[in-house]
Amino acid sequence: MIRALVVAGVSSGVGKTTVTLGLLEAFRRRGLRVQAFKVGPDFIDPGFHHQITGRPSYNLDGWMCPRERVVETVARQAAQADLALIEGMMGCFDGLDAKSEEGSTAQVAKWLGAPVVLVVDGGAMARSAGAVVLGFERFDPELDVAAVIFNRVGGEVHCRWLRESVEAACRAIPLGFVPARPSLSLPERHLGLVTAAEGALGPALLDELVSVVEESVDLDRLLALARSGLAPRREARRASPVRDHGRRPRAAIRIGVARDEAFQFYYPANLDLLRKAGAELVLWSPLRDSDLPDVAGLYLGGGYPEVYARRLASNATLRQAIGAFAASGGPIYAECGGLMYLAAALEDEAGELHSMVGLLPTTVRMKPKRLTLGYTEVEITRETPLAPAGTVVRGHQFHASRIEPVPAWVPRAYAVRTASGGVPGDEGYLIGNALLSYVHLHFESNPRIAAYLVASCRRHALGRRRRR
């Protein structure tokens, strides 16, 4: 069976990420193969997980993806690991709304049959800690709150009070007392932490973090608690396409994926599904490359183009190459940061305007105090390179920018509904064979879209060959 632990928090800001990163590195240094996961629609924390483990960290989301796909993802990705470590999001029971567990860390932990390690900010409490932990145990008796790690703890007396409070009233075992230390904080910006790709978790910080965790957490007892209700699942071996009805295997279709400091927000499952559908993913950098690679389609994910707007604008030859690719009918799928880059102009936080690719005839402006975030369901209303009309897929939005009105002549391909029941809106801008949206789609919510995108790129490649 897969050994798993879910690191959950009492609330946001208690130090789940700090504790998780310290545990990942501590177990890795013990020689364990650790597979990390992240509950919810998050791109930044999985980047840190990947940096430490050397393995992509997969998102587990009970609203965007059905139970069977969440469970299957853990069973498959953790098949070759010694431990699955799942970092929760927000508070343990926080998710879609205040009435259900949908989308929450608690939901995922129960689906997996995995114990919860509850992270509590102990900095301003003593005996009350027992009441807090007891409340989490009793709120949902089906959830196994097995251990507690206190963060931002004072001296030995404070540790003793916290331990005694929990031991007197709770089933959960207090196994960690991480001291308050400002130097352990990761740098932040307007949409959260500075990313791993930008060097936020340097060697010195990681060494200090793992040293503190090794000294303050009982790692042996914690590891002994790890379990789940899952058996490892490995990918079934495919039958050879050559022997399958005598057909030769299809050549892989090359799709260019924008990947650098400015564009780095992709669900690993999306990329896996594209590969499974027959894509060869070719990484390219809008910051550094002067030309596009030889590909049949482009995928531009989210990131921080506003932080690198000056450098993106200065790379005029690449912007022209993207425009030429779009003009040739090449399929392009761009979400959030990709949309911002493909617009005519981008205004950064300082109010400076920068020329972008110019595919979408509008300007995007940063408005950090007006954050848009939340789950989103999309119904595709017309033929696109991603899917045909009538397709329904789920995702989320998380951005601090605003787009100026897009001309009415630009077709809209999305009917967007927020999970909170908001009024549907039109989005998903279709420029030729390019689809641009603020929504980060999770392909596992409707895996057929990955195959459809690959097929769109294949048709473009075949047409290009015929024209030659």
Strand pairing class (279-284; 425-431): unpaired
Condensed to tens digits (0 to 9), the pLDDT of residues 57-96 reads 999 999 999 999 999 999 999 999 999 999 999 999 999 9
For residue 265, the model assigns a pLDDT of: 96
Considering only CA atoms, which of 30, 34, 37, 29 is closest in space to residue 6? Answer: 37
Residues (pLDDT < 50) of the chain are 236-245
For residue 193, the model assigns a pLDDT of: 81
Q: Which domains does the chain possess?
A: 4-225 (3.40.50.300), 253-467 (3.40.50.880)
* Chain mean position to CA 152: 27
Q: Which of 92, 170, 336, 457 is flagged as catalytic? A: 336
- Catalytic residue at 336? yes
DSSP secondary structure string for all residues of 44-72? HHHHHHHHHHSSPPEEE-TTTS-HHHHHH
C-alpha dist (Å) from residue 348 to 260, 316, 353: 19, 18, 7
Residues 169, 208 contacting (CB under 8 angstroms): no
Condensed to tens digits (0 to 9), the pLDDT of residues 208-245 reads 999 999 999 999 999 999 999 898 887 644 433 333 44
pTM over 0.85: yes
For residue 185, the model assigns a pLDDT of: 85
For residue 232, the model assigns a pLDDT of: 86
HSE-up of residue 275 (Cα within 13 Å, Cβ side)? 8
